[in-house]
Amino acid sequence: MSRKSPNEIPVQIAAKIGAMRRAIIRFFAVDGLNRVLLCLFALAAVDFAIDRAFRMDQAQRGIMLVLGVAAIIYVLWRYLLRPLFTRLSDDALLLHVEESQGGLDEGLISALEFSRMDVAAGDNVSLGMMQQTIEQGAEAGDRIDLAKVFRFRKQRVNSILLGVLMVGLMVSGAAISFYPPMTTWFDRNVMLGDAQWPQDYFLDIAGVENGVLRIPRGDDWTISARVREGYRSLPEGVEIQSRTEAGRRSESMVATADRTEFRGEFRNVLENFQFRLISAEAETPWVSVELVQRPRIASLRLVAEDPAYTGMGVRELPSGAGPYFLLNGSKIKVEGTADKDLAAAALVFGDRRLPLAVEGNRFEGEVAANDVEAGTYYLEIEDRERMAIPGREGLVGLGARDTARFRVRIRNDKKPRVNVALHGVGGMVVPGARLPFSGSVEDDFSVVGVSLRFEWKQDNSDTEPVTGDIALDGQTGEIGKAEVSLDGAIELPPLDIPVNARISLQFAARDNDTVSGPKVGESTKILLRVVGEAELRTDLLRREKEQRQVLEEMLKKQDLLLTDSAALAAECRTIEQLDPSQRERVMGLQKRQKLMGSNLRPLIARLQTIVQEIANNRLEDEDGILKARLTDKVITPMIAVAKELVPTAAIELEAARRETDAGRRSDAFAAAGLAQRAAIDAMREILLNMVRNEGYQLAVNLLYEIQRAQERMRKMTDQAKESALGEVLGGKDAADAEGADGGREGS
Annotate 27-41 with DSSP letters as a single string.
Answer: HHHHHHHHHHHHHHH
Could you say which of 238, 271, 292 is where a domain stops?
292
Report the half-sphere exposure of 103 (CA within 13 A, side-chain side): 7
Give whichever of 385-389, 526-530, 703-707, 717-721 has the largest mean pLDDT.
526-530
Q: Are both 166 and 26 inside the same structural domain? A: yes
Q: Pairing between strand 404-411 and 324-327?
A: parallel
Residue 524 lies in a domain: yes
d(CA 411, CA 325): 6
Q: Are both 483 and 525 inside the same structural domain? A: yes
Mean pLDDT, the chain, integer: 81
Nearest to residue 397, comparing CAs of 344, 339, 337? 344
Q: Are both 30 and 170 inside the same structural domain? A: yes
Q: pLDDT band for position 103 (50/70/90)?
A: very low
Angle 249-254-258 (CA atoms, 0-180°, nearest 5)? 145
Task: Determine the pLDDT at residue 7.
Answer: 46
Q: Pairing between strand 501-511 and 447-458?
A: antiparallel
Helix (H, G, I), strand (E, B) or coil at 209: strand
Per-residue pLDDT reduced to its tens digit, 407-462: 999 888 889 999 999 988 888 899 889 999 989 999 988 888 899 999 988 887 77
Contact by Cβ (8 Å): 11, 115: no
Task: Determine the pLDDT at residue 139.
Answer: 53
The yes-or-no verdict on residue 3 having pLDDT over 60 is: no
Per-residue pLDDT reduced to its tens digit, 631-683: 888 889 989 988 998 899 889 888 888 888 888 888 888 888 898 899 899 98
Task: Determine the pLDDT at residue 6.
Answer: 47
Residue 703 lies in a domain: yes
- Kindly state the average pLDDT of the residues 611-624: 82
Q: Are both 468 and 574 inside the same structural domain? A: no
Q: pLDDT band for position 97 (50/70/90)?
A: low
Contact by Cβ (8 Å): 30, 154: no
Nearest to residue 197, comparing CAs of 210, 216, 184? 184
**CATH code of the domain covering residue 497:** 2.60.40.640
- Residues of the domain holding 70: 3-185
Could you say which of 361, 380, 411 is where a domain stops?
411
Q: Are both 56 and 77 inside the same structural domain? A: yes
Overall number of domains in the chain = 5
Q: Which of 52-56, 461-465, 603-607 has the weakest average pLDDT?
A: 52-56
Residue 744 lies in a domain: no
Task: Determine the pLDDT at residue 1.
Answer: 36
Helices and strands in the chain: count of H runs, count of E runs: 15, 32
d(CA 500, CA 22): 151
d(CA 324, CA 374): 10
Per-residue pLDDT reduced to its tens digit, 221-256: 888 888 888 888 888 889 898 888 878 888 889 888
Q: What is the largest CA-CA distance in the chain?
A: 222
| Beta bridge pairs of residue 352 | 349
The DSSP H or E segment spanning 564 is helix 533-571
The yes-or-no verdict on residue 355 having pLDDT over 90 is: yes
Q: DSSP secondary-structure letter at 308? A: G
What percentage of residues in the chain have a pLDDT greater than 70?
81
Nearest to residue 408, comparing CAs of 313, 304, 515? 304
Q: Which of 313-317, 466-470, 658-662 has the weakest average pLDDT?
A: 658-662
Residue 733 lies in a domain: no
Per-residue pLDDT reduced to its tens digit, 570-589: 888 878 788 888 888 889 98
Sign of CA dihedral 690, 692, 695, 696: negative
The yes-or-no verdict on residue 539 having pLDDT over 50 is: yes
| Higher pLDDT pick, 540 / 107 | 540
Q: Pairing between strand 526-530 and 428-429?
A: parallel
Q: Are both 626 and 671 inside the same structural domain? A: yes
Angle 585-590-593 (CA atoms, 0-180°, nearest 5)? 125
Q: CA 428 → CA 219, 479, 503, 539, distances in Å?
A: 80, 32, 10, 8
Residue 539 lies in a domain: yes
| Higher pLDDT pick, 722 / 555 | 555
Could you say which of 144, 163, 185 is where a domain stops?
185
Nearest to residue 282, comparing CAs of 226, 188, 202? 202
Residue 719: CB partners within 8 Å, gap ≥ 6? none
Q: Are both 112 and 231 inside the same structural domain? A: no
d(CA 141, CA 138): 5
Q: Nearest 5°: phi and psi at 85?
A: -90, -5
- Kindly state the average pLDDT of the residues 456-471: 85
Residue 312 lies in a domain: yes
Sign of CA dihedral 662, 666, 671, 677: positive
Write down the pTM of the prediction. 0.58
Residue 622 lies in a domain: yes
d(CA 162, CA 86): 22
Q: Are both 475 and 519 inside the same structural domain? A: yes
Contact by Cβ (8 Å): 691, 683: no
Task: Determine the pLDDT at residue 335.
Answer: 93
Q: Are both 564 and 646 inside the same structural domain? A: yes
Task: Determine the pLDDT at residue 211.
Answer: 83
Phi-psi region of 618 (alpha: psi -120 to 50; beta: other; left: phi over 0): left
Q: Are both 437 and 469 inside the same structural domain? A: yes
d(CA 696, CA 633): 13
Residue 737 lies in a domain: no
Q: Are both 440 and 402 inside the same structural domain? A: no
Helix (H, G, I), strand (E, B) or coil at 717: helix
Question: SS in 3 state form for 429-447?
Answer: ECCCCEEEEEEEEECCCCE
Q: Are both 250 and 332 inside the same structural domain? A: no
| Beta bridge pairs of residue 367 | 332
